Amino acid sequence: MSKRISREIKDQVLARIKNDGINGRQAADEAGISSKTVYGWLADTTVSEPGILELNKLRREVEGLYALVGRLTHELDKLKKGRLPR
């Protein structure tokens, strides 16, 4: 049966790891909780940098979106010029 750990305890444990530089196992032992739980929290809060493949994919998407916006802007300008009275 698992018990619910309060948000305060979680924040304290993560703060000890971040601010005091202790490892996850030591923080878990001090708080009387599983090290697996602590490492799970750390995994949830860790943001990783995107890899080169992801960056290239995003660059291609951005280029495609710029091209689309350019085409749509051009078409809109043509429509506006064609419908405005001279």
- For 21-71, write each residue's pLDDT tens digit: 899 999 999 999 999 999 999 988 877 788 899 899 999 999 999 999 999
What pLDDT sits at residue 73? 96
Say if 20 falls within a structural domain. yes
Is the domain of 61 the same as that of 80? yes
Number of domains composing the chain: 2
Residue at 1 is within a domain: no
pLDDT tens readout for residues 10-24: 999 999 998 998 999
Same domain, 53 and 40: no
Residue 80 lies in a domain: yes
How many contiguous H segments (helices) and E segments (strands) does the chain have?
4, 0
pLDDT for the residue numbered 47: 74
Tell me which residue range forms the domain holding 78. Answer: 49-86
Q: Is residue 2 domain-resident? A: no
Same-domain pairing of 60 and 27: no
pLDDT at 86: 46
The model's pTM? 0.52
